[in-house]
Amino acid sequence: MIDPFGPILAPFVEFGFMRRALAGCLALSVSAPPVGVFLTLRRMSLMSDAMSHAILPGAAAGFLVAGLSLPAMTLGGLVAGLAVALLAGAVTRATVVREDANLAAFYLISLAGGVLLVSLRGSQIDLMHFLFGSVLALDDAALLLLGGISTLTLLALAAIYRPLVMECVDPLFLRTVSRSGGPVHLAFLALVVVNLVGGFQALGTLLAVGLMLLPAVAARFWARDLGGLIPVSMLIAAIASVTGLSLSYHLDLPSGPAIVLAAGALYLVSMLAGPRGGLLHRLIRPRHLEA
């Protein structure tokens, strides 16, 4: 009663595996939401979902070759994800079909191939591991991978921030002043893939996409510009990680879905109570200003 945060934090104080899970989730909470902010601003929210499926055959191929080996599956996932992103981008530039349609085509091919590969050797349990991960069993290698991905993402975003913003707002303008548009777009797609692969290996696809998009969408109800959206989305992801993990411990729930549901709850709260276009603010409208 004296310490209201006690019950929330207790599992982390008590158990090492909970602290590891928290560290992994927090690393992902810092890197995935900013990527998600740019995805939502570019109206490419669903792209991350497609990409998360596109990773599957690569990871499966790694699994077939080396078993449940983190480096093999990570490498496979990276290769498959980047290949789908690059192919879709290249076909889009070469033909009249739009990028979302091409991406859908390639990810479906990729996903079907992945399911086929897993069923060749793996069991249902392996497939579930692919899709939902195992937050509570993060080993040192997985933690290092998540930390590395997080660092890489933040550094890369800082490096390409301005051309990336310009490419979102006015790609034509960027093309007339610089040739960095294409490389920046590819670098951004690579960041999406890297974050999904990291999250996917350690935490499962659902959690990877969930932590990427839900905080980013929720942040739109709290902040007006990019300088606000990015930190708010990170904060929301971190809160969702702590509460989700804690709830999963106390109520004995699967932790991946619990974290995503916590992020989803924060999204619903933001949608209702957020000061920037939240529903409640529409109901109690303050009188308009003089000018």
Partner 1 sequence: MSIRPATQDAFRLVGLTLGYDRHPAVHHLSGVVRAGDLLALVGPNGAGKSTLLKGMAGEIPCLEGHIDRFGTLAYMPQADEIDRSFPLSVMDLAGMGLWRKAGSWRGLTRWRPEIGSALDAVGLGGFEARPISTLSGGQFRRALFARLILQDCPVVLLDEPFTGIDNRTVEDLLALIRLWHGQGRTVVAALHDLTQVREHFPTTLLLAREPVAWGPTARVLTAENLVRARNLSEAWDEGAAICGGPRPVDGHDHGSHGLDTHHHEDAA
Contacts to partner 1 by CB under 8 A: 41, 159-163, 165-166, 168-170, 172-178, 180, 224-226, 229
Closer CB to partner 1, residue 248 or residue 270? 270
Contact 33, 267 (CB under 8 A): no
Contact 217, 237 (CB under 8 A): no
Nearest approach, Cβ of residue 163 and partner 1 (Å):
5
Nearest approach, Cβ of residue 88 and partner 1 (Å):
21
Closer CB to partner 1, residue 94 or residue 172? 172
Nearest approach, Cβ of residue 176 and partner 1 (Å):
5
Closer CB to partner 1, residue 41 or residue 115? 41
Q: What are the Cα distances from residue 284, in Å, to 149, 223, 277, 288, 290?
A: 43, 19, 12, 12, 19
Nearest approach, Cβ of residue 31 and partner 1 (Å):
20
User: Which amino acid would we find at residue 225?
Assistant: D
Nearest approach, Cβ of residue 151 and partner 1 (Å):
19
Closer CB to partner 1, residue 69 or residue 180? 180
* CA-wise closest residue to 124 among 134, 113, 115: 115
Nearest approach, Cβ of residue 166 and partner 1 (Å):
6
40 vs 36: CA distance, rounded Å: 6
**Torsion sign across C-alpha atoms 45, 190, 102, 64:** negative
Closer CB to partner 1, residue 95 or residue 119? 95
Q: What are the Cα distances from residue 219, in Å, to 215, 236, 278?
A: 6, 8, 11
Closer CB to partner 1, residue 38 or residue 106? 38
Q: Name residue, tokens 């619990």.
A: 258
249 vs 252: CA distance, rounded Å: 5
Percent helix, strand, coil in the chain, to 5, is 80, 0, 20
